Amino acid sequence: MRMCGDDPMSTSTILEEVHSFIREHELSLSQFSMRLNINAGTLSYILNGNRTLTIEHLDRISEIMGVPMGHYYEKYIDDFLQERNPNWRRVGPFLRKCAELDKLDCMRRTVCLLLDNLTYATSLFELAEEFFAKEWYGAAEILYENVAMSETRQYSERLAVCQYRLFKIRIGSDQAYNLKIAHQFEPYVDRLDEVLQLDALKDLANLYRSIRQWDKVEALALEMEHKAGIICLREHRSEEEFKEIQKRLSKPIFLYIAYAKLLCAAVYDGKGDYAKAMQYTNEYADLSWVRQTDEDTKYWVDQFEKWSRANLYAIKIMSGEIEVLSEYVAYILDNPDEMITGLSNIMYAANRYHFDVDHILQEFHSKLEEYEHFQRDDNISIGIVYTDTYNKLLYNLTYYYIHKGDSVTGFNYLVRGLENSVIINKNANIIKFMVLFEHHRNEAQEEIILKYKNIISEVSREV
């Protein structure tokens, strides 16, 4: 199947089509070379097959001939790359152009030509790292996959890096799939170098946090804290060595220690042990031990101060300290990015301790509606942890309104939550919403019952 734009019935080569174009437009070699801004002698060598056509020349020729960039890439593979040992000086630039133009099928076909020769693995890996840094993730994924398949040493660091990059690229909104890729990647963490391990542990912990596997989160957080502490406290290391380590990390080194404590606080919050959650929160709130004073460090210290304040309010409200409710609401209003998490915490506490929050919901009503439209209409990905938090909010809103006797509002939130649970493929959430619906089915309007049946039918078809 040809996917790169040329006529599947055409068997002519690129050079034959160029010759036809020159004849049809009655151009001399000199005129054509001037249009291309290529030396006439060089062009003659190319057209006579005595010099290889580069991808840069091909793109210029495509422009002059009036065809889309990349139109001849499939033919270029046939005409110039299908040889026993393709020349990397041609292959590398071609793969870059394929990545740039999102010609991923051409890229896959080209990489397949190289798989039998392991000498290309290093070049392909370096190119994959380049694409990953540029956020050309589709192209990078193809290269990492193939380098991983060609890696014969199962304990090599390069294989581990490929698996880590693939893990990062493939994280999405489907939480069942996220769990699968986490299990696939986890055995490779210890094969990464000690610096990259910190980011890998952080990313894995975040994923397990999103699916509420608290024991996994705690184990990964403690391991991250331990390894970051070793790097921070290692003796006989120069300032230059420390700066070099810091350059390779995505965040300042202190963050991995502080964030481990934040994750542990989330673990115990999730388990309902609010005293232990408070202990960990107080620990990461105090960052007086951080010695670095650069702007990046200052930014993250401020972020942890902000997070600790929000989480202390949350822990208190979820422990039943209702007197901090007005302060917490004021904090959320001053920090709109905390709205979904904050309201989810407030609604959980309201349901648990049976207090009225109608006035708060009225204050945030328009903002919640804006958020709902923003998420649906623009199809914005809001991150795996945040998506699940929004789902928790929808569940708590459903529970609150149904138990207040406002079944119309409650069931509308239930339908939203059930739809969202299906989107992120979170079976535990689907079941929770179904159980809540069945407990109150007799209060549901016909329109809601029909919507509910349609959603459940869709779920049944996908199982």
- Is residue 106 within 8 Å of 138, Cβ to Cβ? no
C-alpha–C-alpha distance, residues 63 and 274, integer Å = 65
C-alpha–C-alpha distance, residues 113 and 81, integer Å = 8
Q: Which residues are within 8 A (CB) of 294 and not within 5 positions of it... i.e. 6 or more apart?
A: 252
pLDDT in tens, 31-52: 999 998 888 999 999 998 888 8
Whole-model pTM: value is 0.83
When the pLDDT of each residue in the chain is averaged and rounded to a whole number, the result is 89
- Is residue 277 within 8 Å of 268, Cβ to Cβ? yes
User: HEC string of 216-256?
Assistant: HHHHHHHHHHHHHHHHHHCCCCCHHHHHHHHHHCCCCHHHH
The residue that leads in pLDDT, 375 or 285, is 285
Question: Quick check: 198 pLDDT over 50?
Answer: yes
Q: DSSP labels for 342-357?
A: HHHHHHHHHHHHT---
Residue (of 141, 259, 148) closest to 198 by Cα position: 259
- Is residue 156 within 8 Å of 122, Cβ to Cβ? no
Question: Quick check: 291 pLDDT over 80?
Answer: yes
- Is residue 192 within 8 Å of 157, Cβ to Cβ? yes
Kindly state the percentage of the chain with pLDDT values over 70. 93
Question: Quick check: 377 pLDDT over 80?
Answer: no
Residues 149-175 have a mean pLDDT of 90
User: HEC string of 319-341?
Assistant: CCCHHHHHHHHHHHHHCHHHHHH
pLDDT in tens, 51-103: 889 999 999 999 999 999 999 999 999 998 887 778 899 999 999 999 999 99
Please work out, in degrees rounded to the nearest 5, the angle formed at the alpha carbon of residue 396 by the alpha carbons of 348 and 353: 35
3-state class (DSSP) for residue 303: helix
- Is residue 77 within 8 Å of 100, Cβ to Cβ? no
pLDDT at 376: 52
Please work out, in degrees rounded to the nearest 5, the angle formed at the alpha carbon of residue 221 by the alpha carbons of 219 and 277: 95
Q: Band the pLDDT of 141: cuts 50, 70, 90.
A: very high
Helices (H) and strands (E) in the chain, counts: 24, 0
C-alpha–C-alpha distance, residues 453 and 459, integer Å = 10
C-alpha–C-alpha distance, residues 281 and 53, integer Å = 62
The CA-to-CA distance between both ends of the chain, in Å, stands at 31
pLDDT at 380: 34
Stretch among 113-127, 160-174, 284-298, 378-392 having the lowest mean pLDDT: 378-392
pLDDT at 322: 93
pLDDT in tens, 256-278: 999 999 999 999 999 999 999 99
Question: Quick check: 174 pLDDT over 70?
Answer: yes
Question: Quick check: 116 pLDDT over 80?
Answer: no
Residues in the chain: 463
Question: Quick check: 386 pLDDT over 70?
Answer: no
Q: Band the pLDDT of 370: cuts 50, 70, 90.
A: confident
pLDDT in tens, 221-257: 999 999 998 887 765 667 777 778 888 888 898 999 9
Question: Quick check: 20 pLDDT over 90?
Answer: yes
Residue (of 197, 213, 125, 126) closest to 164 by Cα position: 197
What are the two backbone dihedrals, phi and then psi, of residue 212, each rounded to the nearest 5 degrees? 60, 35
Stretch among 144-158, 269-283, 439-453 having the lowest mean pLDDT: 144-158
